[in-house]
Chain A
Amino acid sequence: MKAKRQKYTSSFASILLAIGCVFSLLIIFLFRSAEKLLPGRESYFLLRIAENPAFIDALSFGGRFTAYPLGLPYLLNLLPWALAIAMPFVFGILSIILFFLLLRDFNVKPRKTALAILLLSPSFIYLFNTLNTASAALFLALLGFWLFARKGGIRVLSPLVIALIPLFDLTIALLSMLLLLFYVFFKDKESKKLYFAALALFLASAGIYYSYIIKNAGFSWPMFNLWETGFNGALRSLLSDLGAPYGIGLFSLILAVFGIIAVWDAKYENKFAFFSIAALLVTSMFFPKALFMLSLFVAVFAAIGFMDILNSRWENRLFQRFVLLIMVCGIIFSALSFAQVFVNSEPDEGIVKGIGALSELPNGVVFSEYTRGHWISFAGKPNVMDENAYLAPDVNERFEDSQMLFKTRDIEEAGKIIKKYNIKYIWIDAGMKRKLWKEDEDGLLFLLKYNPDLKNKVYDVDGVEIWEISEGAYAGSGYEIR
């Protein structure tokens, strides 16, 4: 009777998990309006590239060599829009299955709890609800790992799968190789040969692909911070509750700490996990995409922590129940809080309309903050700069010029920068105004408002303004617009 009830409970939990999984992967689809279905900025970039993947990108940075992985754009090329929506979901389902299989292979006990925590993890929700390179790369990494951990002949496929990852996302690819190294070193020393085979193939694919890119694009590195720095910045990129765009939930992390404490006595058996967590934690401070891999480990240890609290003998059962309840509420709160922010994240309807309006204007370079670059190029217009700052032409000079143009009230100074980049339009939206200026008449806003050479607003709807710089107006100003 008891066994039957347990089986029934287990089946019920599995069904609940399956429903939770589908729901977690469809949050954007269910709650974001159809007009602005793609959240964020990277999805617009990938969609644009997917429509015509090539080694020359005429719109990014006013025209540059395509110095980014083209794996996903090529994969999307068949049916860009449909696949852009379907692919994250498919990768999500497959990744969850692979994660579950890996947990089974590694004999991790609270598998369903780990899965539930992962499904509620903000980084997981982000990763598989929007089009991004990391989702495909993480799926391939999990597949590679799973194949690597197999016993039969099928494991020889793992080097091939791992060699594909650099074509999708270099950060995830490098981290996968590092984790695989830890795995071989600490857990499965007998698979050294297979690891070297994987490493050779990985180096070959990554080496050929990125050497070709660097040879053509040149080597340039952004010297400015693409994200917030310092202690607060590090925490803000780690924890979703502190505003990380795809961080880890605070309560999952706390439970994971409990989990680590619970298994600390067997620390030598868990060296692979501990070294991986340490490496991912450090890497995530410089490359936030490492959080996607870290969240897998956090889910496992959080599940161990949860079960430890549940099964250990507390002197006061009331405190024990309350703590478990608080943890569950905390994890759910982090997920809901993140989902709310994510569903309402940029671009909003105003920006989507603005992108549409921009696409209908005559061709010309558009100046805006670099975080708006992907939207601008999605509208078919060249941007001055965007977020693909690595290996980009004159990236630091462009950044400095942009900052100067945002701040200056001097028309001569502004004119030089406008001429330098052949800027024809200026895109300003409400988010930019909040971020860049304190008052309505600061810097560039002052020039746009009062200078007759600039004050030609061609679009102003729902917080998005597009200003056109007229050639005639500049004829007498000593500089011309092409």
Chain B
Amino acid sequence: MKKEYVILFVIFLLTLNFRMILSLQADGFSSDSAYYNLRHTDYISENTQPMIYDELSYSGRYILDTHIFHYALAGLRAFLPDFFIFKILPEILFALLVFIVYAVAKTLTENSTAAMLSALISGFIPIFVSNSVNTISIYSIVLPLIFYQLFCLMNLETHKGRFIVLSFLLPLIHPFTAILALAFLFYAVLLSIESIRIKKQVKEAVIFFVMLVLLISFIFYKKVFLALGLNALLQNVPSALFASYFQGVNVFSLIYNIGIIPLILGALGIIFGIAWEKNDFAFLLSALVLADFALLFLKLINFNLGMMFLGILLAIFSATAISKAIKYVNITKFARHKNAIFVAFVILIAATLFFPSYSGASNAIKAAPSADEINALAWISHNTPKNSIVLGNIDEGNLIAYASQRKTVADNVFMFAPDRYDDVYTMLTSESLVKSTNLMHNYGVGYIFISEKTKQSYNMEDLNNADSECYKMEHESKKAKIYKFLC
């Protein structure tokens, strides 16, 4: 086996171990969407068909999802234990990205050392690690597949079949694939601005992919497009939440979240690739960066997802700058110290990426529901009427539905859901008992679940009128409280 593949495998193991060590520290999952995926996978495992109408979410609502991911997870359950599927597999899938980043970076630079360093960087992008560790996320297959599709386009002569298969598969899995279609359009524009002729076969592949994504998206999300038009892309995110996007984003947070190394090297890589080399692949990757920026600017994608994607792209672009640096060092007197320089660079990566990643991921692990909180929700499932409605943090709606098996007022899957974002905030934080109880009465709230995360998210210690006769404490532990609503 080639030495570079061994090193690459070591990078993969390093990334995987880093993620596993963090992930196994928590019993629960760090994101609420994990519980959404768990519930739907459970449902498919039991009924072999997807949950079209969710009786618990928003006290009953229709779900818009292709459920390919949930079917895949449910299928794997036939052969593998749940612990492996839900705890280990997502980490493996995310870690697999290093191979794909390596492949893309190598195609871009034709330099295996630069590609390997790029792969190493991609495994430890702070925002990527902290948002992907300890989750059951559809992005664990979407992101690797998107970058693999990109690799297939870059090597269309040899990967045509895979490109076609993925073109069908990707839009079926998740609408985020549209970013590739948008990027391909930007790619065509960028090349035409630079008067570079796009390869005929690539042009044909791009037309095919863009049209297919459009067709599949319009077939699957027909109802949403008909109801909301282009606003469907905003995924019905409540206006109050929408307005809060990008709040607190500044240069320092960008440096911290993406890491100074990929940020600087990635930016240099873009300049080298586009302005100096006029590399076709650099244009393709720049088009992806542009598409990501466009979607972020228009607030059409979640900030964290956009930044994760950008981080990986910059890691790939870093290979161009590293490759240039290697070539430069080789023709200078420093060439004899290149091993020392290499080690120093790896240490620099560790210092600037590893520690912020660890710190971010540790916070994410802490955000996973504690045993107290899970027990409190289990208490609800054993001690409350089956049709009771539980009010809680909107970012724990899926957790509440999963662990308590009770109806919720709201969660963060907004598509086809009524806008209750402000009302949940009012119910949990209002000083006016009349106001909050009126709303609770409207939504038929029976129980209120207050977790540590609720307290942090809503900046509260407890319900404002907890001592009023409208609320009765039914369960209390160190990290969770359950009130019964009596009025």
Contact = CB atoms under 8 A, between A and B. Distances in A.
Interface SS of A by simple majority: helix
B219 A333 contact: yes
Contact of A316 (B160, B215, B218): B160
21 contacts: A228-B229, A236-B229, A241-B222, A243-B226, A243-B227, A250-B218, A251-B211, A254-B211, A314-B200, A315-B200, A316-B204, A319-B205, A323-B208, A326-B208, A326-B211, A330-B211, A330-B214, A333-B215, A337-B218, A337-B222, A337-B226
Nearest to A440: B442
Interface in A253-270: 254
A404 interface: no
B463 interface: no
Contact of B226 (A251, A320, A341): A341
Contacts of B160: 316, 318
A228 B227 CA distance: 12
B164 A318 contact: yes
Nearest to B202: A315
Interface residues of B, number: 23
Contacts of B272: none
Contacts of A318: 160, 164
Contacts of B204: 314-316, 319-320, 323
Interface of A: 228, 231-233, 235-236, 241-243, 250-251, 254, 314-316, 318-320, 322-323, 326-327, 329-330, 333-334, 337, 341, 439
B211 A323 contact: yes
A439 B225 CA distance: 24
B229 A316 contact: no
A337 B230 CA distance: 17
Given A316-B205, A333-B219, A439-B442, A327 B200 contact: no
Contacts of A314: 200, 204
B207 A323 contact: yes
Nearest to B419: A438
B302 interface: no
B231 interface: yes
A242 B215 contact: no
Given A326-B211, A326-B212, A232 B229 contact: yes
A232 B225 contact: no
Interface of B: 160, 164, 200-201, 204-205, 207-208, 211-212, 214-215, 218-219, 222, 225-231, 442
B111 to A, nearest CB: 29
B225 A241 contact: yes
Given A314-B204, A315-B204, A316-B201, A322 B226 contact: no
B64 to A, nearest CB: 16
Contacts of A243: 225-229
A59 to B, nearest CB: 32
Nearest to A439: B442
B172 to A, nearest CB: 14
Contacts of A316: 160, 201, 204-205
B273 to A, nearest CB: 25
Contact of B230 (A231, A315, A322): A231
B21 to A, nearest CB: 45
Contacts of B228: 243
B225 to A, nearest CB: 6
A330 B225 CA distance: 15
Q: Which 8 A-B pairs have the closest CB atoms?
A: A236-B229, A319-B204, A242-B229, A326-B211, A319-B208, A243-B226, A315-B200, A315-B201
A314 B201 CA distance: 8
Nearest to B199: A315
A233 B229 CA distance: 8
B223 to A, nearest CB: 10
B230 A242 contact: yes
Contacts of A330: 211, 214-215, 218
Given A243-B225, A319-B208, A322-B208, 20 more contacts: A228-B229, A232-B229, A232-B230, A232-B231, A233-B229, A235-B230, A241-B222, A243-B229, A254-B211, A314-B204, A316-B201, A319-B204, A319-B205, A320-B204, A322-B164, A330-B218, A333-B215, A334-B218, A337-B222, A439-B442
